[in-house]
Amino acid sequence: MTAPNPEQLVVAICAPLEPELVEQIRSGSPEVTVLYEPELLPPERFPADHSGDPDFQRSAEQQERYWANIRRADVLYGLPDESPAGLARAVRENPRLRWVHAMAAGAGGSVRAAELTPEELARVTVTTSAGVHALPLAEFALMGLLNGFKRVAELQADQRAQRWPTPRVPTRLLSGSRLVIAGLGEIGVETARLAKALGMSVSGSKREVTPITGIDSVVPNSGLPGLVSEADAVVSTLPGTPYTEHLFDAEMFSHFKPGTVFVNVGRGSVVDEAALLSALDDGTVSYACLDVFEQEPLPGSSPLWKHPRVLVSPHTSALSLAENRLIAERFSSNLALFRAGKTMPHAVDPVYFY
């Protein structure tokens, strides 16, 4: 990457962000012009609400100012209007644009949906906030494992019914159990760290197979059937790509041991929900903790809502009060690399969109 002229570098803030964090970005790179007009951005409804209030509308004059800032920028903080269409428009209307930092960890799907040409993908680097969400997602995954091993769904059902079962049913120990993590990226490795602290042995999959300290076995996704056949629990942190779509289908679930606990904090497209429901109903999966779904919001007609051994989370497991600060710090770190012409981490692959 050729180092840009810092005196000419312009950053436009396209996503809702607290003024103090904007000032943090400015103070870290005083030579950079940071365009920030909060009245042009939809207000947050909750912390780290990157899309903002859906009822927010700009006047015609405000819309022109918003896009004038984008057309002037070398760098964008956030996808314009948090949409693939906004990204495509920005790339095509601004020939000086070189870098877009996305708020999401899994922004590859948005980049793919923008349908940029190979030349546009070569010109504009899109980086993600992957890693910022690793700890909250890993903690959520551990909660799902504990819920399944400790029979929390059954305990809650007994409590609602004021039932004291006889004989009482024992729970399972995480310690000594075997966990398989599909997707040993930053989220998967952080999940493995927490699981190993509780005494679990961990294996998993990775697109580029390399040894990972503390992981018993690392295989490509094609090797998952052999791993899950020995697993007590499976966690998916996989992104949504054409190569992972419905990876967890009826064939994959047929390799699970009866009673396997399943957690998905990656992308909903990785799981065939009809196959998962069949696996739940026949006892192959004893409990499923799901933060992501094939269609979001999850339709009211989905049987997952009312299944007694499923936890439905509305794609919120990555959210934390510290998220905006952590993303701003990541952006500032990347900005220093960008200005120096160095490679930035977590760039979206223009072929795999991962």
Using an 8 Å Cβ cutoff, are 37 and 29 in contact?
A: no
**Count of CB atoms situated within 10 Å of the CB of 164:** 8
Alpha-carbon gap, residue 350 to 354, rounded angstroms:
8
Give every CB contact of residue 211 below 8 A, 6+ residues apart in sequence.
218
Q: How far is CA 41 from CA 16, 60, 72, 247, 313, in A?
A: 6, 14, 17, 38, 27
Residues with catalytic roles: 267, 296, 315
In DSSP terms, 99 is beta-bridged to: 75, 125
In DSSP terms, 90 is beta-bridged to: none
Dig out the tokens for 214 from the structure: 């503390």
C-alpha gyration radius of the chain? 22
Secondary structure (DSSP) of 227-296: HHTT-SEEEE-----TTTTT-BSHHHHTTSPTTEEEEE-S-GGGB-HHHHHHHHHTTSEEEEEES--SSS
Alpha-carbon gap, residue 266 to 6, rounded angstroms:
37
